[in-house]
Structure 1
Amino acid sequence: MDLPNTSGVYRIEMDDGTIYVGKATDIHNRFHGAIRKGGVLHDAGYRSRDVRALDWMEMPDATDAKLYEMENQWIEYEGGIGNLANRINSPGAR
């Protein structure tokens, strides 16, 4: 997948409807890290072929605080952290 090497927030939806929302300083590396062995989605049994949709918002000049804020907005839009496949409640999900 052709993803940007910039900071921002992202949403991954799998074929079975599972959703993962996160933030990253490098969206490209973060996505591929989630799918690789040891990554949160790989460990949950998913592979890149299972991705139904991948959305992101580039925020190249955003501070960590702004990334957390936007991640939290996306998490809340999805109904809260409890509805997502995120392994750890992000500090942005408070």
Structure 2
Amino acid sequence: MANTAQSKKRARQSETRYAINKARRSRIRTFLRKVEEALASGDQAVAAEALKNAQPELQRGVSKGVLHANTVSRKISRLAHRVKVLATATPSA
């Protein structure tokens, strides 16, 4: 339990940051889910658009300190590859 004024303030700040970061992570996961759903549907145009919308959100997560830069880079790279594969697989199907 916080006793000093400083520790009480730090506890309040921690709760506020936790709530903000939780909302940011939730928003990022929503955008990622939209990309996954578009990939699952097989529609390349929708998947590409969803990925285009998700990239700034992921980068914002990096700049706000919610996610590590390499993690976001890896996620974007893997999703972009899956969208590209979907694009090449669609015409031949």
Tell me, yes or no, whether TM beats 0.5. Answer: no
> Relative CO higher for 1 or 2, CA cutoff 8 Å, sep ≥ 6?
1
* Greater C-alpha radius of gyration: 2
- Structure with the bigger percentage of helix: 2
- TM-score, normalization by structure 1: 0.31
- Structure with the bigger percentage of strand: 1
